[in-house]
Amino acid sequence: MTTTPIPLEDRIIFALDVADPREAMALVDRLAGRISFFKVGLQLFFAGGWPVVEYIVGKGCKVMLDLKLYDIPATVRLAVRQFADRGITFTTVHGYGPVVEAALEADTGIGILAVTVLTSFGAEQVAELQYQGTVDDLVLQRAETVLRLGCHGVVCSAREAGLLRLRLGQDFTMVTPGIRPTGSSLDDQQRVATPGSAIADGADYLVIGRPIRDAVDADACIKAIQREIAAALA
């Protein structure tokens, strides 16, 4: 894991996967007392743009801008430069070497995270890419490539977290989506894990959305997840 201590309230990155900016801001208001890190993805960014990011930052919270950029290097570099001075902590790009290099060249001070393999991918989808190895092989290959280029961290399924820590060490940030507390629906995810197992395997941050958003008692759900995280860290 990263050497800088991560506060417990930062460990959960709440996924603001909603279409209405007003709903997103209401969720921030509702959860900011317990969670201080929020993910803004494509759907919400296209709906609300920079005002949503500014609202989150204005509440004293952190932002992961999850747009998964993938384009020619010059375009990626110029795009990431637009993120400067916006209070963004992390942004994501696809784990393709030239794209990662371009994002790093933008030199904005924002943590660049490379997406290895989407958590909705399974063996069937990887086979469609005509890749001869397993999902684990592909994740490891992409992570090795981007970290060698100086990428600050990776986004991967918690299922691969232990493998990456074992093979690639501690000196990078690992963010894991596809986190499902025990008993939660898998929704459209295939490679999932519980909060405790993800942290125990080396994840630094857990992206969690629907299980908290749809909980009857969101506050109790967050407390339970944070207790599980704390136990795994101990």
What pTM did the predictor assign? 0.90
Distance (Å) of CA 55 to CA 12, 64, 66, 98: 19, 13, 16, 32
Asked if the model's pLDDT at residue 183 lies above 60, the reply is: no
At 119 the pLDDT is 66
At 182 the pLDDT is 64
DSSP state of 8: H
CA–CA distance, 210 with 14 (Å, rounded to integer): 9
Q: Per residue in 109-142, pLDDT tens?
A: 999 999 998 766 666 666 676 666 788 888 999 9
Q: Per residue in 62-112, pLDDT tens?
A: 999 999 999 999 999 999 999 999 999 999 999 999 999 999 999 999 999
Sorting pLDDT into bands at 50, 70 and 90, what band is 3?
A: low
Domains and CATH numbers, the chain: 8-233 (3.20.20.70)
Average pLDDT value over all residues in the chain: 90
Sorting pLDDT into bands at 50, 70 and 90, what band is 1?
A: very low
Q: Per residue in 185-220, pLDDT tens?
A: 545 445 568 999 999 999 999 999 999 999 999 999
Q: Are 153 and 172 in contact (CB under 8 A)?
A: yes
CA–CA distance, 71 with 75 (Å, rounded to integer): 6
CA–CA distance, 231 with 127 (Å, rounded to integer): 37
* Catalytic positions: 68
DSSP state of 214: T
At 61 the pLDDT is 97
Question: If we measure between CA atoms, which residue out of 170, 232, 234, 230 comes closest to residue 7?
Answer: 230
